[in-house]
Structure 1
């Protein structure tokens, strides 16, 4: 068991980190230029919920977290989707809707504090215009559709507030869809309301996000949707067998036929089998501690930190993330892959060389090193996602 050999694995981890540091990538002027002179869309950054847990002024440099204005400017990030994340514990309650509005208020407050730095973006035209003005666009995506509460009037409300994609479910089945994490499979895919919701999202121009949903829900969503869908922050099951939260090759091929795009999640547990197995073992052990001592116990509250100290996470690296991009390109072509880092959402599990929003030039350098052309890199940075977003906007105009 890993937990019986903490000193060995700590030494091994130290050697691994030293090696990674010694081989750390240095972005070229070309990589930096590509980052600064093109739109970069990262389709999933969890700043709003980070602010809900502890308010910090991300318009200035912050000590913690993965995102703030100086680091975003350094990395060239100019169109991060702010994730309006609603915990599954709030499903089927009015608190879900209230929290969604509160998190949107936080994003508007960021813009209010620094209108010379940020602007809310409701459309692809907003993103393009704000880029020309030197502003960082803040489009909005809702992670977990529970705030809709089975009422299409709420969908309209959140569209008006700026929501431009909805992740149909999160870690449990809700009133819309089954979750990849929930073994109960309440709906065997989408609920009757979920199927109706997909159609209405098409009509409004809200992108359907199939990250987090079950395989059956994915296939039903792309069958119903009249527009390309997105996976806002998912990676590939080819590298993490049996981890349903990621997409398998057949799903990726179906996504390609739909015209959609998969935005690669950077989290180590999403991109390598070793880290994914580590996460599974930690979760299993944490559950056992909760059952033994109770979830209010000090043992449970301190478990994750203690476990990670004794059994260091085997971090992924830049090459691990690039392998996922390569695999999508090999399967369905360059037009269907982008960036959905999950910054501020995956804790301390980010790969070496991709630790925060200042590091997109490292990713670009890695792509250059693997032979990607400048035009292909621009597609990965934003072109593919913008194509899908524009297709959804165009469909809504016609309906």
Structure 2
């Protein structure tokens, strides 16, 4: 008799990004331009081999405390105070395996089977699957009232809150469109959530990458009831280390710890040592340089893409992607032809929600020559 596998897990699809990258690897294309993901291309703040030599064997190879090494928690408290305006104690923090671990643990702490979690449309495609994984139901909130990165539609949000609503998950700057929630936006969201007993969860993965006159505001700096999620991956170019952390009320931290206890148990000790080494440095100056570097990349690709006929695009307020609207090719989102025919790896916008139909997400943190090549391939596709 054949063994029955999980129907629940089988019903959750692979992400578009993972499928695109895997398909390109199987095809063994030699001329790929990797704009589907967001792998940092700038240098790390520390040399990892040298940094880890400063830690004894016990710190590197033994069990970690369940919420994270004490020194790392203290350093995170300092970072939150300096950069996020959040006064936190170590009891308000837990270190987790990356931003995805922060999302999963935080949702586990606030939902029950059958609960509803409101997600913005557009949003990172993984959010819907993570919500389903923890047994809740995702509900989409069309974020903008009229146009991408325009005014927020708070009436549409209010219409989606029901007795089953347990949480609202937002992301600022927002992947994929680069919208940065203003302080006024956040204050209104906090008030709506607190009035209706809904937990506001904010993913701040892209906190460093805010451009022009935009300013990153951590909603937890406005209310202690917010759960704020952070990862070192994008800002510090340590995507493989898998270090994230959550700032929340101690009772929420206790439940995230319990979720970790029966899954990953504790965050990796060597990864935490690397994070400690990073946060011992002048990370404020480093992050300022990183932000300026990526803003220049964004401006470069924006100017190149803006010159391509038929493209409609806004300049993002933050994040690491351009998100233009492109004409369909052969009746499909243009991303499919760009991937299959031009080997320009990008992401069809409709995976981010119905509001993003016709859009395509492009990572802009690549060398200038690569950005130039990408623009030439795009131009060739629309002027052929």
Q: Assess same fold via TM > 0.5.
A: no
Q: TM-score, normalised by structure 1?
A: 0.30
RCO comparison, higher one (Cα < 8 Å, 6+): 2
Q: TM-score, normalised by structure 2?
A: 0.31
